[in-house]
């Protein structure tokens, strides 16, 4: 294992904060770069306490080119793990310029700062959403990419930029990680997912139903061609995902790997009803739900073929669905309003609850 000086953009976010735990445990030197637009500095305070280590923190936006030059020239990183970005699928459709600005132009700014400071390795946070509606399952990395949303296209375009950047000069390495559905929380219950508004994703929504913040789960359709009619996804524990970033960093530090892409999932799928049932076991009570119509843009099923990551990164998932739910519930019950004070959380009934 090579020790690296690593800039972690979006390090205060959900996946970023869990990855910091892994990096710090392995004695990498870290500089977090975060705008805190969609994250809390409290996450970093907790990471530092849990890890028993201090690290540099820069409050900056990846669109701020000058700030990036300054930070990179001062810290002189060996590598970047790039999480910072906008990620709400529905919001992307109404704010395409913001999504391309942050996710694509922000990535370009990073590459400029990296090039200026001679940093030649980047690990990029991408998404299985770049595949679009699957032609076959499980999805391997050679599946065609047909992203069906602004968000998905912003990730896809950023990937292309990174591939071209890496190919332009022999010693550059760009590793693209396509996540399936990250869920769960750190075993301590001190860091976890903290949606700023009404959760878009299944697990944080169920967690808020379990803690009484939301009335019931809206199940988006039960007429899909899956084993119980509800949507099927490949859920991956966030701590497993975090380990994959460190494995990718190690892989990129070993030598000339150029541009490469890995699917990160378990290879197994669970339906919405199966997730709900597993969460009920974790929290010890039954949770209200109601079937509503399908959500626009959803696919019936999505499952990863993670064999390339297993082989080349020597990485595989360890945590079960039960552990994903129990760790989520541990975090949720300890921090019902995330990193914020209770009064600041919007729990007013909105469209999502009105089912
Ligand atoms: O309140 C909810 C939320 C979700 N679901 C269902 O639960 C499953 C998982 O939904 P998520 O929103 O948690 O996850 P998605 O697979 O839809 O979303 C993932 O894929 C998206 C693109 O499709 C984006 O990349 C997103 O960031 C990523 O989490 C889907 O079948 C969805 O229909 C519900 O029934 N009710």
pLDDT digits (tens, 9 = 90+) for 120-144: 999 999 999 999 999 999 999 999 9
Catalytic residues: 151
For residues 48 and 277, give the distance between their C-alpha atoms in angstroms, rounded to a whole number: 34
Mean pLDDT across 315-320: 98
How, if at all, do strands 79-82 and 56-59 pair?
unpaired
CB atoms under 10 Å from CB of 145, counted, come to 17
| Residue with CA at minimum distance from ligand 1 atom 3 | 202
138 prior amide bond cis, ω within 30 = yes
Q: Which of 131, 132, 177, 298 is the pocket-test mutation for ligand 1 (most atoms within 8 Å of CB)?
A: 298
* Inside any domain, residue 225: no
The dihedral formed by the CA atoms of 281, 284, 290 and 293, expressed in degrees to the nearest 10: -40
CA 212 → CA 127, 155, 209, 219, 274, distances in Å?
A: 30, 34, 5, 17, 20
* Inside any domain, residue 339: no
- Ligand 1 atom with the shortest distance to the CA of 182: 29
* Inside any domain, residue 322: no
- Mean residue pLDDT of the chain comes to 95
* Inside any domain, residue 252: yes
Q: Which of 231, 276, 328 is the pocket-test mutation for ligand 1 (most atoms within 8 Å of CB)?
A: 231
- Residue pair 77/6 in contact (Cβ under 8 Å)? The answer is yes
Q: In percent, how much of the chain has pLDDT > 90?
A: 93
State whether the beta carbon of 48 lies less than 6 angstroms from ligand 1: no
* Inside any domain, residue 335: no
* Inside any domain, residue 66: yes
Q: ipTM score of the complex?
A: 0.96
pLDDT tens for 243-255 read: 999 999 999 998 8
State whether the beta carbon of 201 lies less than 6 angstroms from ligand 1: yes
User: What contacts 312, CB < 8 A, 6 or more positions away?
Assistant: 251, 260, 262
Mean pLDDT across 269-276: 98
pLDDT of residue 2: 78
For residues 327 and 32, give the distance between their C-alpha atoms in angstroms, rounded to a whole number: 25
Of the pLDDT bands very low, low, confident and very high (cuts 50, 70, 90), residue 1 is: confident
What is the domain count for the chain?
1
- Ligand 1 atom with the shortest distance to the CA of 199: 1
State whether the beta carbon of 32 lies less than 6 angstroms from ligand 1: no
Mean pLDDT across 2-29: 96
Q: In percent, how much of the chain has pLDDT > 70?
A: 96
- Residue pair 272/99 in contact (Cβ under 8 Å)? The answer is no
Of the pLDDT bands very low, low, confident and very high (cuts 50, 70, 90), residue 352 is: very low
| Residue with CA at minimum distance from ligand 1 atom 2 | 202
Q: Which domain holds residue 154?
A: 5-183+236-264
* Inside any domain, residue 197: no
* Inside any domain, residue 204: no
State whether the beta carbon of 330 lies less than 6 angstroms from ligand 1: no
Domain at 132, CATH number: 3.40.50.720
3-state class (DSSP) for residue 11: coil
């Amino acid at each position: 294992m090579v020790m690296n000086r690593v800039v972690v953009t979006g390090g205060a976010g959900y996946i970023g904060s869990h990855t910091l735990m892994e990096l710090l445990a392995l004695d990498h030197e870290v500089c977090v770069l975060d705008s805190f637009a969609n994250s809390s500095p409290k996450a970093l305070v907790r990471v530092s306490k849990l890890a028993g280590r201090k690290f540099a923190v820069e409050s900056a936006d990846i669109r701020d080119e000058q700030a990036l030059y300054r930070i990179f020239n001062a810290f002189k990183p060996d590598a970047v793990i790039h999480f910072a970005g906008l990620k709400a699928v529905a919001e992307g459709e109404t704010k395409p310029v913001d999504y391309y600005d942050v996710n694509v132009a922000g990535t370009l700014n990073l590459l400029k700062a990296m090039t200026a400071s001679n940093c030649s390795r980047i690990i990029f946070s991408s998404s299985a959403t770049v595949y679009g509606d699957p032609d076959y399952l499980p999805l391997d990395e050679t599946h065609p990419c047909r992203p069906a949303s602004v968000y998905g296209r912003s990730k896809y375009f950023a990937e292309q930029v990174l591939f071209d950047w890496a190919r332009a000069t022999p010693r550059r390495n760009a590793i693209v990680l396509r996540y399936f559905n990250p869920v769960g929380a750190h075993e301590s219950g001190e860091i976890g997912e903290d949606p700023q508004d009404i959760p878009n994703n299944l697990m944080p929504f169920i967690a808020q139903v379990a803690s009484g913040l939301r009335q019931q789960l809206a199940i988006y359709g039960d007429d899909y061609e899956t084993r119980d009619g509800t949507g099927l996804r490949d859920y991956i524990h966030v701590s497993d995902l975090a380990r994959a970033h460190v494995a990718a960093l190690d892989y990129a530090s070993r030598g000339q790997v150029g541009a490469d892409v890995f699917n990160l999932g378990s290879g197994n799928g669970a339906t919405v009803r199966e997730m709900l049932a597993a969460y009920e076991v974790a929290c010890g009570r039954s949770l209200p739900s109601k079937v509503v119509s399908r959500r626009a843009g959803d696919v019936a099923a999505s499952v990863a073929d993670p064999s390339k990551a297993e082989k080349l990164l020597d990485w595989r998932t360890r945590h079960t669905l039960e552990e994903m739910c129990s760790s989520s519930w541990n975090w949720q019950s300890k921090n019902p309003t995330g990193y914020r004070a209770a009064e600041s959380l919007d729990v007013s009934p909105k469209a999502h609850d009105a089912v």
